[in-house]
Structure 1
């Protein structure tokens, strides 16, 4: 015979206030995701137009301006691609949580919380990668500074 702790037999229930908080969170998440998609679109437009503008101005800047404009375009497109997934997860959370409460659907509520988990997981990993990149740049700058002394 297995002994189950009181915590294992506990069933979590949402109070009306918790439901209200989740509904409001869903509305804000949906709003922020729409803004995120708009800004991603602006980043893509900037990537395309900034790259072509720099390439057209490149005649007076020398031969490497075409490479620089292409590099800027690629960097902006990578930024837009990196921002897409967390914004998409936030959008799915916001839209699913609204419909979960409208239809009283537990599976959709679970799905929306899974999208929220994916959003935070992606953002957390992205922050770790960016901080690691900053640390690497800092170390390389220190090594370069020390090497310039000799």
Structure 2
């Protein structure tokens, strides 16, 4: 057997310490995913009742725009949809990692890390979009102040 860098990478093994860290990471990621799904549920509940809540607020306080309820419903519905994907990827990572450690399957382990990659890629792209929107908002505000 030739010891070149490619062969060495193919023979990567997980020590018992690394497996322990991955097991603990899978537990925490499952916890965070469950909390994420609970928060998504709360967002959906708020989206369902926002129109009613803000309509009542508009009747009590005339300065509240009547369309605010519908706007808030749409915003919270969109946020729930956006938030679903990274939470789903995190749960899939956790589930697949636990299964891979029990079954000692390289394929399941690879799928697990693929889900983790998807989670972080989504968060990264979303962060770039959010920062870009803030920069755009800052530029528009600065031009508006002139």
TM-score by length of 2: 0.90
More off after superposition, 5-14 vs 67-76: 5-14
Q: 1:108 — aligned with what?
A: 108
Identify the residue that residue 77 of structure 1 maps to in structure 2: 77
Structure 1 residues 101, 5: closer, same or farther in 2, change over 3 A? Answer: closer
Instruction: Write the mapping of 1:1-150 to structure 2, written as runs, cut at 5 A.
Output: 6-10=4-8, 11-61=11-61, 65-146=65-146
After superposition, give the CA deviation of every residue in 1:78-119 in whole Å (9 maximum; x if it has no partner): 111111000000000001111111222221111111000000
1:38-90 alpha-carbon deviations (Å, 9 max, x no partner): 01101111122222210233235559833211111101111111110000000
Task: Point out 4+ residue stretches in structure 1 off by more than 6 angstroms.
Answer: none
Name the Cα RMSD after superposition.
1.8
CA–CA distance in 2 between the matches of 1:72 and 1:35? Answer: 22
Gaps of 5+ in 2: none
SS in 2 for 1:65: coil
CA deviation map 1:92-149 (0-9, x unaligned) = 0001111111222221111111000000000000000000000000000000111xxx
SS in 1 for 2:6: coil
Gaps in structure 1 of 5+ consecutive residues: none
